Amino acid sequence: MKKNKVSNLEKMRHSASHVLAQAVLTLYPDTKLGIGPAIEDGFYYDFEFSSPIEEEELKKIEKEMKKIIKKNLPFEQTFMSREEALEYLKAIDQTYKIELLEGIPDKELSFYTTGDKDFIDLCRGPHLKTTKDIGAIKLLKTAGAYWKGDEHNKMLTRIYGTAFKTKEELKDHLHKLEEAKKRNHRVLGKQLKLFALIPEIGQGLPVWLPRGYKIRNILENYMIKLEEDAGYVHILTPHIHKKILFEKSGHLKFYKDSMYPPIKVDNDTFYLKPMNCPAAMMVYKLEPKSYRELPFKMGELGTVYRNEKSGELHGLQRVRGFTQNDAHIFCTPDQLESVLDETMDLLDQFYKDIGFDNYKFVLSLSDKEKKSEKYSGDPAKWELAENTLRDMLVRRKVEFEEIPGDAAFYGPKIDVLAVNVFGKADAISTIQLDFNLPEKFDITYIDSEGKEQEPFVIHRALIGSFERFFAFLIEYYGGDFPLWLSPDQVLIIPISENHSKYAYEVHDLLKASNIRVKIDDRNKSMQSRIRDAEKMKIPYIAIVGEKEIETDTVSVRSRANKELGLMKNQEFIDYLREEIRNKGNK
């Protein structure tokens, strides 16, 4: 189990962000400074320039950074009283830093100086000892960023960069970034006609286009069958619920900032649901349950809405409306261990079928110092739930990281992070243990002695949200989806108009075998149509001409292996069926 602490690489990148700010002030002295943290793959700093800068100017800024690094300037922490800090920041006219200062409750404020006060910044740290300890750096790009992520605030210029210990590591990272550009889900989403973000419909409200919706439909059907085979039943609840439901669940107390404003209808107040769980509790309560009916496993492909800030929206990865592969499992205390194990087994099966072989676990715990402010429920129950999830991960011998303060307001959770081909981890699945909603909603079951007892509830989303999962899936495969997921599995190309009749006969044979097949008989050259099919990343191209008609075959080109040669029609169908059945697993 890993401990959550600041690594030397994080210190290096945070130190590099200070050097970036120092370089910018050297070249553009009237610039206002925002914030400059280390992030997963590097660092950034937000600036308000008096005049907009161009991307080309990053080279000049980077050159200045390297000069500063070469000087071997020390990073030193110093403290000021609130009055001294305010006076200093006013003197240098750093308005954003003054605003940050107002939000820090400390009486003494931490600053870091670089060199002999060559540069000083409001910062808790930590940093490296000197600038020369910073390894190889590279400024990557600029982007617009609203101050504090709020679209009502001013748009600042964010400069992104990265830093590594060696030039070789930096070179390898930059190569991966170039490859990642080719896999960007927003670029491929447009190229492959999978989804669209249409301004007139609304920011953060993606539209699934026919090819993308086909993949989603395949995933939905797959997941429903996987869950039904494991004893789940499925429900579907409305998109809006009455205010009273969210008052009872605690969402209006702990989660209101992420919810859309209320909707008034007649004398009632409604909210767009941010989560599916309150309605699931009400469905459970419709009929009394015996211990013999537990575990009761209820799934829902439920659409929810969260009022994310405009500056934080990002393709399909951060949206305002999304559908979750949700489930709520009601079980007795004695069943808790086996239900958690079954949930993990389902997760392993799903990840195997989808082709993910690299994933890790994060255990999100409560912040014990802020129990009453951020979390609902009895501290003793919190401790039991946290220990239960931890014990399960230990028992299954999986590595995991603990993050205090990252739990949901109603219970601790396990997040599953799938790692893509470039080593970047994205949160996909989640398993949450909840003892609060059963109490709030008076959820019970009748035990073997005829007494009412309170069950545990496990919230579980294997796919997480379809939108976020689809973004990861696109980038993981670079749009080259496994055959069973591909919206178009085969494209038939007749060499000329004379071969169209046979092409349609082959088409009908494949379609009758549930193969997703199309014909491209446009008045374009065969090579042009092949290029178009390859651009759309269609797994198999079947070319038909005189030779194929005479021999009752197709000439098959595979996306993976290129030329497969002539195959009898039934042989080709069997070949495809086997690959689909195995989901690409050998």
Q: What is the pLDDT of residues 448-461, one digit of tens each?
A: 999 999 999 999 99
Q: Can you read off the two tokens belonging to residue 465?
A: 């949200």
pLDDT of residue 214: 98
Residue 111 pLDDT > 60, yes or no? yes
Give the pLDDT band (50/70/90) at residue 46. Answer: very high
Specify the 3-state DSSP secondary structure of 167: helix
pLDDT of residue 482: 95
Among residues 424, 9, 357, the alpha carbon closest in space to that of 179 is found at 424
pLDDT of residue 265: 93
- The mean pLDDT value of the chain amounts to 92
Among residues 510, 544, 547, the alpha carbon closest in space to that of 526 is found at 544
Domain chopping of the chain, boundaries: 8-175, 195-239+275-477, 490-582
- For the annotated catalytic residues, the residue numbers are 277, 306, 324, 326, 328, 413, 459
pLDDT of residue 502: 97
Q: Long-range pairs for 517-521 at CB < 8 Å and ≥24 separation?
A: 517/488, 517/489, 517/490, 517/491, 517/492, 518/488, 518/490, 518/491, 518/492, 519/491, 519/492, 519/493, 519/494, 520/491, 520/492, 520/493, 521/493, 521/494, 521/497
Average pLDDT over residues 83-95: 92
Q: Which residue has the higher pLDDT, 426 or 214?
A: 214
Residue 6 pLDDT > 90, yes or no? no
Give the pLDDT band (50/70/90) at residue 347. Answer: very high
Region of poorest pLDDT, from 147-151, 222-226, 501-505: 147-151
pLDDT of residue 584: 66
Give the pLDDT band (50/70/90) at residue 573. Answer: very high
pLDDT of residue 1: 38
Q: Which CATH class is domain 195-239+275-477?
A: alpha beta
Question: What is the third-level CATH fold of 8-175?
Answer: Threonyl-tRNA Synthetase; Chain A, domain 2 (3.30.980)
pLDDT of residue 2: 40
**pLDDT tens, 348-384?**
999 999 998 888 899 988 776 665 556 666 777 788 8
CATH 3.30.710.10 fits 490-582, yes or no: no
Tell me, letter by letter, the H, E, C secondary structure of 511-578. Answer: HHCCCCEEECCCCCCHHHHHHHHHHCCCCEEEEECHHHHHHCEEEEEECCCEEEEEEEHHHHHHHHHH
